[in-house]
Chain A
Amino acid sequence: MTTRRYAAASLALAFLACSGDKRGSNASGDVGGTVVISLSGEPDFLMQPVITTTASKMVTDQIFEPLAELKPEMNTMGDGGFAPRLARHWTWSADSLSIAFELDPRARWHDGVPVRAADVKIGYDLLADTSVHSPQAANVTDIDSVTVRDSLTAVFWFHQRSLDQFFSAAYNVVPLPEHLLRNVKRSELKSDPFAKHPVGNGPFRFVRWVPTQLIEIVADTTHFSGRPKLDRIVYSFAADPNTAVTRVLAGEADFIEVIRGEQLAQALKTPTLQAKVYGGLDYAFLQFNLRDPKRHAAPNALFGDRTLRRALAMAIDRPAMVKNVYDTLAAVPFGPAPRSLGIADTNIRQLPYDTAAANRTLDSLGWRDSNGDGIRDRRGIPLRFSLATPSSSKPRQRMAVLLQEQLKRVGVDVVIDELDLNTMVGKLMSRNFDAVLMSWHPDPTPSSIRQVWTTTASREKGGLNFGSYESPVFDAQIDSAASAHSVEQARALYHRAYQTLVDDEPAVMLYEPDLVAAASKRIHLVNLRPDAWWAGIREWSIPADQRIERDRLGLGRAAQ
């Protein structure tokens, strides 16, 4: 990026900042105020094609406007679950293989240049260009291309019909300023100044980034859909998670996305803080390795047997475990789709907690306690396996101990193997483990189940189906669901697939935790969406009579 281009953009920004200042500094009612968000991770970049972290996404989502926004109901199938944003409306082609998005003509980049269809095209092109090496590229593989029909109409072309088409375009492609990026060498996108000092078109404008310390964004008072209620958001970083929480407890920061255990109790005792429970997308499970850890071609001596896996599942009292570790802040999953996805099926048949049935099944398989040591054995081999769990996760450590205790009651010896996260991931990648307590954060679309449970995810290099569960039936059901013609048909097919997985029991679904955010009581929080708690920030507000010193700064000097 040339110096001249940035100088022009900066001048325009300064002008807009001054013009916007009038509306910002006189903010009254519920307009105005500063929210300091405490983060334990720092963004890597602020340009969507090159970001790899959630922290980056939570900032870029305020600076850049999507074509359409996912509604709180989290229905990603088709376009019914989306609300217009940058696109005023959209039209499907007769064959459903293209979607034409018509942009709002009032939309402007923060340097004053109008948002045009070419900006949508470059947003996609940078994602798909292999020289960019975008970590998000896999999210848009179903899009063939994006073309410009006229200055305000961008057309997405797809190579096949699926219920994820709209999601791919609206959720994964973020328009970028073509006038600032057209001459940037794509293989050097990360080192371009824009990647860390972006000019966006969203409700907040980028102000500054002090590495390892903070990022500041302020309200764009000229935003075409109306200014956000807050004046300013400051993301404050602390490498130590305890410090990140203490900042909120001490009032130096106003919000932290997740708080647990003792710190939650402390937050509840702090008169200036509120705790807000919201759903998440994470779910955790006891995953069995269905292949031999040493000779991957051979089935696992224990877990290759479906009946044995089902017997183990029946020996586990999941509700009691969840209650023990999380009290009411988690639930037993219905299947491999967390409740927040909206597609979770309460009617999926679950194996009952029945230790008598588990004992009978294990007996029938020939696993008996022949030497009276309390551990079943067969042909001299004890029914024993190691359970890998990350040392960084206290809930999973506690779950591992409970699992060990419960399985001991039916004569199964579990050896807990607490591992550093990197070491554990190394073992999982090489499939060198017996069983693991795994937690997964899926993308907010039902088809993301492919990432963890399909044959492709088992066999591809670096695939995330660590347990090597391979079921042609399940694969076919998922494929059919993803390419169904209607949402209802897709639901039915997904439910069938979930039932197949639960019946095969390649993993025992253990819990899906709720998330608890801690925030200053003066902030009115809106729409903590499970996939992105920050989705509703433009609606967050601080009543005038509850403002503190930092709320009264207006847009002020920082904006200039």
Chain B
Amino acid sequence: MRRLLAARAAQAVAVVAIVATIVFALTHLAPGDPFATAVGTGELHPAQREALRVRYGFDRPIAEQYVMYLRNLARGDLGWSFSRSRPVAAALAAAVPNTLLLMGTALLLSLALGVAAGLLQAARRDSAIDRGSGAILLVFYSMPDFWLALMMMLAFAYALPIFPVSGMIDPVMHEYLGTWGRIVDRVRHLVLPATTLTLLITAAIARHQRAALLDAARADYTRTARAKGLSGRAVLLRHTLRNSLGTTITLVGLMFPALLGGAVLVETVFAWPGMGQLATSAITTRDYSLVTAAAIMSAVMTVLGSAIADVLTAIADPRLRER
């Protein structure tokens, strides 16, 4: 287990270094700079724009900027966010918990729904329920994330105003609510973005779970369990499901980047103040430091997600633990 963790840590450092370099190069080589979008709006005079470019070193060669960036990164200084007017670390610290809340909720819901749907489909293999539920889940899986988010918003916040349009809290009333009222307010704001993400990834988990269950159903231990006289339900829940969960956990770990990608657009549409919204606005405003830091943070979260999945799989499977 220690070797596994050490290997994962080394891999994480390498991935983060590569991601930081690529993102730094891409953002700095693209035309424009953090002050370009103010041109034509009357917000920034040319002389002031030039002064800001010089002040923040954007007039220097990209290699020099890169060395400066690495030096600061080594000291733990992620830089200053122009679009947020605060240190990048502070902007990330405010956003990451919100994203983890959204993704964690979606992940738990999709895991529960996906496993349940996979079970149902495997138990009723080739039935109308199997085909029907598979088709429905596939429809959600095929939808572009931003489109589904907009449709959810239009359906349940505008046409049928059950849930709030966006944000994490009611901007006015939240301050005036009691403890329970505040919790309910937060949950109400979480429903639409979390449901959108859940719908997007449940299908993949369900399909994978179904296939894993059907594989496990053909295994010798399943046949043995049946031969012992266990009921079909007991075989499915105690033996087949338990043995098939390992691969699903691995899949969830591998889905982490996709989930994070989906969260970027879902957060933007629902104005959820997390990493996704942060990254989107950073890209739009050419906020170099924030874009690079957001990419690094995504890489870290992805590697971490993958590592956690490995560890969980190892815990679940004694054979892997011994290796």
Contacts of B164 in A (CB 8 A): 252
What's the Cα separation between A105 and B190 when bound, in Å?
A: 50
Number of A-B contacts (CB under 8 A): 159
Q: Is the CB of A240 within 8 A of B32?
A: no
What's the Cα separation between A236 and B171 when bound, in Å?
A: 7
What's the Cα separation between A383 and B55 when bound, in Å?
A: 43
Q: Is the CB of B171 within 8 A of A135?
A: no
Contacts of B161 in A (CB 8 A): 250-251
A-contacting 9-mer, from B40-48, B65-73, B223-231: B40-48
What's the Cα separation between A236 and B36 when bound, in Å?
A: 25
Q: Is the CB of A135 within 8 A of B44?
A: yes
Once A425-B39, A426-B36, A462-B46 are accepted as A-B contacts, the answer to whether A214 and B171 lie under 8 Å apart by CB is yes
User: CB-CB contacts of A441-469 with B at 8 A, as 1s and 0s?
Assistant: 11100001001000001001111100000
Q: Is the CB of B42 within 8 A of A442?
A: yes
Q: Does A311 contact B (CB under 8 A)?
A: no
Contacts of B86 in A (CB 8 A): 211
Once A52-B38, A252-B164 are accepted as A-B contacts, the answer to whether A45 and B45 lie under 8 Å apart by CB is no
Most buried by B among A138, A211, A422, A451: A422
What's the Cα separation between A239 and B31 when bound, in Å?
A: 22
Q: Is the CB of B166 within 8 A of A243?
A: yes
Q: Does B50 contact A (CB under 8 A)?
A: yes
Contacts of A138 in B (CB 8 A): 45, 47-48
Contacts of A550 in B (CB 8 A): 172-173
What's the Cα separation between A430 and B169 when bound, in Å?
A: 45
Chain B 132-151 residues near chain A, CB threshold 8 A: 150
What's the Cα separation between A422 and B50 when bound, in Å?
A: 16
Q: Does B297 contact A (CB under 8 A)?
A: no
Partner of A239, one of B48, B55, B277: B277
Q: Does A212 contact B (CB under 8 A)?
A: yes
A-contacting 9-mer, from B11-19, B243-251, B266-274, B306-314: B266-274
Closest to B267 in A: A239
Partner of A557, one of B37, B165, B176: B176
Q: Does A313 contact B (CB under 8 A)?
A: no
Q: Is the CB of A461 within 8 A of B166?
A: no
Contacts of B269 in A (CB 8 A): 240, 242-243
Contacts of B84 in A (CB 8 A): 42, 44, 211-212
Q: Does A423 contact B (CB under 8 A)?
A: yes
What's the Cα separation between A236 and B189 when bound, in Å?
A: 15
What's the Cα separation between A420 and B55 when bound, in Å?
A: 25
Contacts of B37 in A (CB 8 A): 421-422, 425
User: CB-CB contacts of B264-285 with A at 8 A, as 1s and 0s?
Assistant: 0000111101000110110000
Q: Is the CB of A239 within 8 A of B165?
A: no
User: CB-CB contacts of A209-245 with B at 8 A, as 1s and 0s?
Assistant: 0011110100000000000000010101111101100
Q: Does A329 contact B (CB under 8 A)?
A: no
Q: Is the CB of A239 within 8 A of B172?
A: no
Contacts of A558 in B (CB 8 A): 175-176
Q: Does A438 contact B (CB under 8 A)?
A: yes
Contacts of B10 in A (CB 8 A): none
Q: Is the CB of B172 within 8 A of A250?
A: no
Q: Is the CB of B31 within 8 A of A212?
A: no
Contacts of B179 in A (CB 8 A): none
Which size class do B's interface residues fall under? 35 or more
Q: Does A137 contact B (CB under 8 A)?
A: yes
What's the Cα separation between A45 and B82 when bound, in Å?
A: 11
Q: Is the CB of B46 within 8 A of A238?
A: no
Q: Does A147 contact B (CB under 8 A)?
A: no
Contacts of B1 in A (CB 8 A): none
Contacts of B167 in A (CB 8 A): 213, 236, 238
Q: Does A408 contact B (CB under 8 A)?
A: no
Partner of B48, one of A137, A243, A423, A553: A137
Closest to B33 in A: A422
Q: Is the CB of A247 within 8 A of B40?
A: no
Q: Is the CB of A441 within 8 A of B150?
A: no
Q: Is the CB of A462 within 8 A of B49?
A: yes
Q: Does A427 contact B (CB under 8 A)?
A: yes
Q: Does A549 contact B (CB under 8 A)?
A: yes
What's the Cα separation between A557 and B161 when bound, in Å?
A: 28
Q: Does B158 contact A (CB under 8 A)?
A: yes
B72: min CB distance to chain A, Å: 17
Q: Does B316 contact A (CB under 8 A)?
A: no
Once A247-B165, A422-B286, A461-B46 are accepted as A-B contacts, the answer to whether A190 and B40 lie under 8 Å apart by CB is no
Q: Is the CB of A247 within 8 A of B166?
A: yes
Contacts of B50 in A (CB 8 A): 461-462
Contacts of B38 in A (CB 8 A): 52-53
Once A133-B55, A190-B85, A232-B172 are accepted as A-B contacts, the answer to whether A239 and B280 lie under 8 Å apart by CB is yes
Closest to B274 in A: A212
Contacts of A232 in B (CB 8 A): 172
Q: Is the CB of B85 within 8 A of A246?
A: no
Q: Is the CB of B48 within 8 A of A441?
A: no
Contacts of B36 in A (CB 8 A): 421-422, 425-426, 429
Once A237-B271, A439-B40 are accepted as A-B contacts, the answer to whether A250 and B157 lie under 8 Å apart by CB is yes
Interface CB pairs A-B, < 8 A, 17? A42-B84, A135-B45, A135-B48, A212-B277, A213-B168, A239-B268, A243-B269, A247-B165, A249-B158, A250-B157, A420-B32, A423-B31, A425-B32, A428-B39, A429-B36, A460-B47, A558-B175
3 smallest CB-CB distances across A and B, nearest first, come from: A422-B32, A426-B31, A462-B46
Report A's interface with B, CB cutoff 8 A.
34, 36, 42, 44-45, 52-54, 133-135, 137-139, 190, 196, 211-214, 216, 232, 234, 236-240, 242-243, 246-247, 249-252, 281, 420-423, 425-429, 438-443, 448, 451, 457, 460-464, 549-550, 553, 556-558
Report B's interface with A, CB cutoff 8 A.
30-33, 36-52, 55, 83-86, 91, 94-95, 150, 153-154, 157-158, 161, 164-173, 175-176, 268-271, 273, 277-278, 280-281, 286
